[in-house]
Amino acid sequence: MAISTTTPLAENHPAQNKVSYPHLIPAAVVLLILVGAVILFDHDASSLEDQYVHAFAPLLLPQSVAGTVIQLAAFHQADLLPVYGSSEMLNEVTPYRAYNFFATYPTGFDVFDIAKSADTSLDIAQDLAAIGPELRGKKVIISFTPTMFNAAEVGKDAYAGNYSRMHANALAFSLDLNMTLKQRIAERMLDYPDTLTNDPLLMFALQNLAANTFPSQIIYYLTLPLGQLNTLIIRLQDHYEVWSYLQDHPKLTPAVKRQPQKIDWGAQTAAAEVQQKANANNNPYGIQNDTWIQKYNQVFKVNKSASGDQHYITNMEASKEWGDLGLVLEILSQLGAKPLIMSRPINGTLFTASGISPQAQQVYYDKLQALVNGYHMSLVDFHQYTNDRYFSIDQGSHTSRKGWVIVDHALDTFYHADIH
């Protein structure tokens, strides 16, 4: 019988059956190094931002509103009071504006303005969601004017102009907000599809959130890891922008000027009113002189009493901004923040002259109070100044010199209040 010389079958040699992946070990090492580098960069960058955030406060940097890391640094500081708002925080250039008034920490704190002209509640909702758990137990101001509710829908340009890809992704892929709330916000964000065209993953996630079906929820959860990775990458870019700014401004120092002083609020208000009257004396409505000449003198008409009530109330009741403000309040509630909701008063002098009665104006205050009370949050609406000619400088309820002192007093009171 011939003896076979062929190689024995592989199954007779288990050692030869063993699969080896020698390349996985160096790949894992590289991955661990990369993860470690990201964690280290994030930690060091955050420490740098915490160090310089007091110096950033008066600069009103674009990155302070478009990004997240500087806002997070502001929430880390006990002597900074973050304020989310719109043009009412920015328009009037005066020493009484909170941004200037508290710049030297006279009563122990400064405001940190996170305000953008024409900002909307939907934008602010995304800003807050990006802060996430850092909001827990922290004081924060949400500021706006009554005119925000004058139209059924805010303009697409207003929303898009303040849209932040960082904040939108942080909200959509948040693990800190419940599914129901994210679904509601997703529906609203999809009303502005132009802001999502360059972010297909975000749009896909929002569409599945808004669909609110079992299969769509499964698909959404499958996008979460990639979405959170994408958010992390944007956050690292945010860190880099801040680091780059510091490299370009080597003379910027973390130290800020602090001048503690006791403020006589009554005297400050009286002095500001004298100044305001001197600068609003060419018209009977308390409008700033230059504003009256440029915007009102040739076009403003006194209308019959209550002639504009129905139109005003109909538009206000239909405003989607109420629902969006509700989203802001829900986010604040779920994240455990301690907010003060701050509305400027209606400019009653101008509203009444234009045909909107005090009774119609009261509808706004009642609706706002009912919404905020539903969340058991603090509200200041300055309604007692509705007919004070020298609180606002225009029909948009932008704040005068006198008005700013009153707002500053409210900010100071809230900051020093013991809120549980």
The answer, yes or no, to whether residue 405 has pLDDT greater than 80, is yes
Find, among 339, 409, 414, 335, the residue nearest to 371 by Cα.
Answer: 339
Confidence of residue 23 (pLDDT cuts 50, 70, 90): low
Instruction: Give the integer Cα–Cα distance in Å for 420 and 20.
Output: 60
Please report the pLDDT score of residue 420 as a whole number.
62
Confidence of residue 30 (pLDDT cuts 50, 70, 90): low
pLDDT digits (tens, 9 = 90+) for 172-186: 999 999 999 999 999
Instruction: Give the integer Cα–Cα distance in Å for 242 and 113.
Output: 17
Q: How many CB atoms lie within 10 A of CB 96?
A: 23
For residue 76, give every residue at least 6 positions away whose Cβ sits within 8 Å of its Cβ, in sequence order, or none. Answer: 50, 53, 134
For residue 279, give every residue at least 6 positions away whose Cβ sits within 8 Å of its Cβ, in sequence order, or none. Answer: 288, 289, 401
pLDDT digits (tens, 9 = 90+) for 299-336: 888 999 999 999 999 999 999 999 999 999 999 999 99
3-class SS of residue 186: helix
- Classify residue 112 as left (phi > 0), alpha (psi -120 to 50) or beta: beta
The answer to whether 57 and 110 are in contact (CB under 8 A) is yes
Instruction: Give the integer Cα–Cα distance in Å for 342 and 240.
Output: 34
Please report the pLDDT score of residue 15 as a whole number.
47
Q: Which helix (H) or strand (E) holds 274?
A: helix 265-278
Q: Any idea which of 84-98, 147-161, 392-406 has the lowest mean pLDDT?
A: 147-161
* Reduced DSSP (H G I as helix, E B as strand, rest coil) percent helix, strand, coil of the chain, to 5: 60, 5, 35
Please report the pLDDT score of residue 137 as a whole number.
97
Pairing relationship of beta strands 378-380 and 338-343 according to DSSP bridges: parallel
Sorted by where each begins, the domain ranges of the chain are 45-416
The answer, yes or no, to whether residue 105 has pLDDT greater than 90, is yes
The answer, yes or no, to whether residue 7 has pLDDT greater than 70, is no
The answer to whether 380 and 370 are in contact (CB under 8 A) is no
Per-position DSSP letters for 205-225, written without gaps between them: HHHHHHH-SHHHHHHHHHHHH
Q: How many CB atoms lie within 10 A of CB 193?
A: 12
Instruction: Give the integer Cα–Cα distance in Å for 328 and 342.
Output: 13
Please report the pLDDT score of residue 1 as a whole number.
43
Instruction: Give the integer Cα–Cα distance in Å for 211 and 305.
Output: 47
pLDDT digits (tens, 9 = 90+) for 211-254: 999 999 999 999 999 999 999 999 999 999 999 999 999 999 99
Confidence of residue 158 (pLDDT cuts 50, 70, 90): confident
The answer, yes or no, to whether residue 3 has pLDDT greater than 50, is no
The answer, yes or no, to whether residue 289 has pLDDT greater than 80, is yes
Q: CA end-to-end span of the chain, whole Å?
A: 97
The answer to whether 167 and 127 are in contact (CB under 8 A) is yes
Instruction: Give the integer Cα–Cα distance in Å for 348 and 356.
Output: 9
Confidence of residue 387 (pLDDT cuts 50, 70, 90): very high
The answer, yes or no, to whether residue 18 has pLDDT greater than 60, is no
pLDDT digits (tens, 9 = 90+) for 251-284: 999 999 999 999 999 999 999 999 999 999 999 9
pLDDT digits (tens, 9 = 90+) for 81-98: 999 999 999 887 899 999
CA dist 55 to 51, 104, 249, 367, Å? 9, 11, 12, 39
**What integer best gives the mean pLDDT of the chain?**
91
Q: Any idea which of 15-24, 367-376, 401-410 has the lowest mean pLDDT?
A: 15-24
Q: What is the pTM of this model?
A: 0.89
The answer, yes or no, to whether residue 111 has pLDDT greater than 60, is yes
3-class SS of residue 111: strand
